[in-house]
Chains A and B, each alone.
Chain A
Amino acid sequence: MSIFRNVVFVAALTGLVAGLVLAAMQSFSTVPLILQAETFESAEPAHTHDHGAARAETGAPAATVAVHEHDEEGWAPADGFERFAFNLLANVVSGVGFALLLVAASELAGGIGSWRQGLIWGFAGFAVFTLAPGLGLPPELPAMPAADLWARQVWWTGTVAATAIGLALIAFRAAPVFAALGVALIVAPHLIGAPQPPSYETAVPEGLHHDFVVAVTVTNLVFWLVMGAVAGVLCQRFLREDTPALRSQLA
């Protein structure tokens, strides 16, 4: 039996379940806040710029504070069911992607032994993909200013990688020097600092943003815990017939 095929199968099922759960939670928590924030995009003409139309008209250079605008030229799903459906699709597809990473990493480290060990793996995924990047780049609502997109994506990716490697060194290497190195790797991105916008001025009320940060963090925590637990059960069921020697050493 091909390990690759089995991992993809387990990850597809895990990602489907976790993605559906996440999309359901978002419908009641984050998405209403996003829709509410979008009303501030058109309500604040002084700080809003169209990507294209308005700029071409005036010939003005792009503002450095990129408060983004949604009503762009490109295709976008219509509000209502279509928008919900595409959000669901994005959650499930990306859930499968995260599940592939989780299952591959945990199998390389010796496998997830139970749903409870899966929860620990889920906490790790939450720390790597939500907590660490969210410290420097808190979840942002539409109509909020942000630094250059490329710079943020680079910092986000670097932080995720450094946190993942750091946690792995702490969890799977016995020598204290590796634990110290792991802590250093986890802390380093925050010493470097995430790219920040030149100004934080926004029409979005602070309370709304606060609610959004809490909603994103909690929904992602549940998403990762569900994913870890489901992966734990499915890995036991579909990936365990062969390598008992590779069972997890995780305490």
Chain B
Amino acid sequence: MAHSATASLGSASSLSSRRIQLAFAGLLGIFITGFVGFSHIEAVHNAAHDYRHSLAFPCH
């Protein structure tokens, strides 16, 4: 992912690199949100308790 996707290239490889990088960013987002909102670790649950209720995540 050191490769940069600039429009001036406009090649298929830069476009697919761009998509892969965006997909990784999205996966990171899923991981972070899942950890805060869905983790069954008790300390995580208790720390984020009010947040989970306030976002209507399934809780407890």
Using CB atoms and an 8 Å cutoff, list the residues of chain A in contact with chain B.
Answer: 1-4, 7-8, 11, 22, 26, 30-31, 34, 66, 68, 70, 72, 74-77, 83, 86-87, 89-91, 93-94, 96-101, 103-105, 107-108, 129-130, 133-134, 137-142, 146, 149, 152-153, 155-156, 215-216, 219-220, 242-246
Contacts and interface: CB of A to CB of B under 8 A. Distances in A.
A20 B10 CA distance: 38
Contacts of B4: 1-3
Given A75-B46, A94-B51, A216-B55, 9 more contacts: A2-B1, A2-B2, A3-B22, A91-B51, A97-B31, A100-B25, A101-B30, A149-B59, A153-B58
A208 to B, nearest CB: 13
Interface in B1-37: 1-2, 4-8, 10, 17-19, 21-26, 28-34, 36-37
Given A90-B36, A242-B7, A76 B49 contact: yes
15 contacts: A68-B59, A72-B46, A87-B48, A87-B54, A96-B29, A98-B33, A99-B29, A100-B28, A101-B26, A101-B33, A108-B19, A108-B26, A138-B56, A153-B58, A242-B5
Interface residues of B, number: 45
A147 to B, nearest CB: 9
A94 B25 contact: no
A216 B54 contact: yes
B53 A7 contact: no
B38 to A, nearest CB: 6
B24 to A, nearest CB: 6
Contacts of B38: 153
Nearest to B40: A149
A30 B53 contact: yes
Contacts of A77: 46-47
A66 B59 CA distance: 11
A4 B25 contact: yes
Interface of B: 1-2, 4-8, 10, 17-19, 21-26, 28-34, 36-38, 40, 42-43, 46-60
A4 B47 contact: no
A142 B45 CA distance: 13
Contacts, number: 160
Given A7-B25, A97-B29, A139-B53, A156 B46 contact: no
A100 B36 contact: no
A219 B51 CA distance: 12
Binding site secondary structure of chain A: helix
Contact of A11 (B10, B29, B37): B29
Identify which of A3, A11, A216, A242 gathers the most chain B CB atoms within 10 Å of its CB: A3
Contact of A156 (B24, B42, B58): B58
